[in-house]
Structure 1
Amino acid sequence: MTPARLAKYKATLASRQLDLTIITDQVNKAQNIAALVRTCDAVGIHNAHVVAAKGKAGAHKGTALGSQQWVNVVAHEHIDSALNTARQKGMQIVSAHFSDQAVDYRTLDYTQPTALILGAEMHGVSPTAVKASDHQVVIPMLGMVQSFNVSAAAAIILLEVQRQRELNGHYEIPQLVGKEYDQTLFRWSHPKVADFCHRLKIDYPAMDTDGSIINLNLWHASALQDQSLRVLLPN
């Protein structure tokens, strides 16, 4: 790994926002999930929550693998589980939902801990999620069409979130620190070794300041028992 690559990882992790997330409410198109995860990465979201469409539990497992390397995607079978996660973290819950109570998305304060709910393509945000929301927002539109694709709507709203947080200095104060930072940096730097550790349920090895694994030779014995890692380690 080059020094520039390691520096990019560290700079990206330094701006990750633990108090900002999205909740997809039964979004059922894989390409939209992929686009949403890419947008999360772009605005510094560390964890995204995906609620399965009815009858499709686990359907998006493996979706947008390139983006999921950089964003933790947490799967939920029911919206209540995702909502409870947001509430436990003290987040305001904001639904992208057209209603009489909805306000212009630009009027909210997104410097507060925030979970943005995005609904399914045909049905929108579910009644359960709407009821649980602190705010409902819409994107003002001037044309005949009165709704954006879910991934486009998310990008528009989240760029406003990013703008507000940048002005407030949120990205200048690292939120991802300690063990979670170290483990994430290791996963990004050595994804195959991290996967090996997950499968064996063992801790990650230590990593040096230049991104290399400390005492790599000690891993030979374990790696040689696993064909997938033979190409990783020197003979």
Structure 2
Amino acid sequence: MTPERMARIKSVIKHRQFDLTVVMENVFDPHNISAVMRSCDAVGVQELYVLNTRIPPHKKWGSKSSASAAQWLTIYTFTDVADCFATLRKKYQKIYTTHLASESVSLYELDLTQPVALVFGNEAEGVSAEVCRYADGNFLIPQVGMVKSLNISVACAVTLYEAFRQRWQAGYYQQADRFQAEKHALEKLWLRQDEIS
């Protein structure tokens, strides 16, 4: 491994946010999933949760959309809602869904510096009522156009970059001592992966 490659791996791991995650519920299109993966990697989200209760598990992601982001993420797959959210509750203080409801708040009102899981629903129906019952609240992305929703991968990117903005201002990306154990374990894993590939 070249010194440049090693420096790149260390730099990326240094900025990983182990207390920010994305959950995708029954997202059909592998290209949407791959685009979400790419956004997660871009802002330092390490863990991604894929919940499939109505569709078979995806066998492959759209490699063109993800630009190989999948290999750098820790991806958990679930087929049971209760199991998925019990796992999330062990690590994340808040769970927010993207759901249009009377009590929904603007994305820009959320505190995304706390340990938080952000849930995005499928292309046709959004987040299910069952999943909403597990959430601490719903949010929406303010829009002023005729169309009232964004593509799931675009909505996720907008949301993650708001989290990035808040966390950058809070200094989270500059704190090398955050999540030292997780970063050390991830570095060992990535170095092993890099040697094999």
Tell me which amino acid in the other structure corresponds to 1:92.
K
SS at match of 1:121: coil
User: Which residues of 2 match residues 25-174 of structure 1 at below 5 A?
Assistant: 25-56=25-56, 58-59=57-58, 61-64=59-62, 66-174=68-176
Tell me which amino acid in the other structure corresponds to 1:62.
K
Structure 2: distance between partners of 1:23 and 1:154 = 10
SS at match of 1:106: helix
SS at match of 1:151: helix
Partner of 1:213: none
Tell me which amino acid in the other structure corresponds to 2:82.
D
Structure 1: distance between partners of 2:27 and 2:55 = 12
Partner of 1:12: 12
Partner of 1:181: 183
Deviation at 1:193, TM superposition (A): 5.4
Kept in 2: contact 1:13–1:176 (CA 8 A): no
Kept in 2: contact 1:69–1:188 (CA 8 A): no
Structure 1: distance between partners of 2:111 and 2:86 = 21
Cα deviation, 1:89-138, whole Å, max 9, x if unaligned, reads 14200101111111110111111110000001101101111111112111
Cα root mean square deviation, aligned: 1.8
**Which segments of 5 or more consecutive residues in structure 1 lack a partner in the other structure?**
195-231
Which entry has the higher C-alpha Rg, 1 or 2?
A: 1
Deviation at 1:53, TM superposition (A): 4.8
TM-score (norm 2): 0.90
Structure 1: distance between partners of 2:133 and 2:60 = 31
Structure 1: distance between partners of 2:153 and 2:108 = 18
Tell me which amino acid in the other structure corresponds to 2:61.
T
Summarize the Cα distance change of 1:64–1:188 in structure 2 as closer, same or farther, 3 Å threshold.
farther
Alignment coverage as a number of residue pairs: 192
TM-score (norm 1): 0.76
Tell me which amino acid in the other structure corresponds to 2:133.
K
Cα deviation, 1:158-205, whole Å, max 9, x if unaligned, reads 100000000001112243423x434422332332756xxxxxxxxxxx
Kept in 1: contact 2:53–2:81 (CA 8 A): no
**Which segments of 5 or more consecutive residues in structure 2 lack a partner in the other structure?**
none
Identity %: 33
Structure 2: distance between partners of 1:166 and 1:90 = 19
SS at match of 1:140: coil
Kept in 2: contact 1:19–1:91 (CA 8 A): no
Cα deviation, 1:60-116, whole Å, max 9, x if unaligned, reads x33256111111111111222221112111420010111111111011111111000
SS at match of 1:24: strand
Kept in 1: contact 2:36–2:153 (CA 8 A): yes
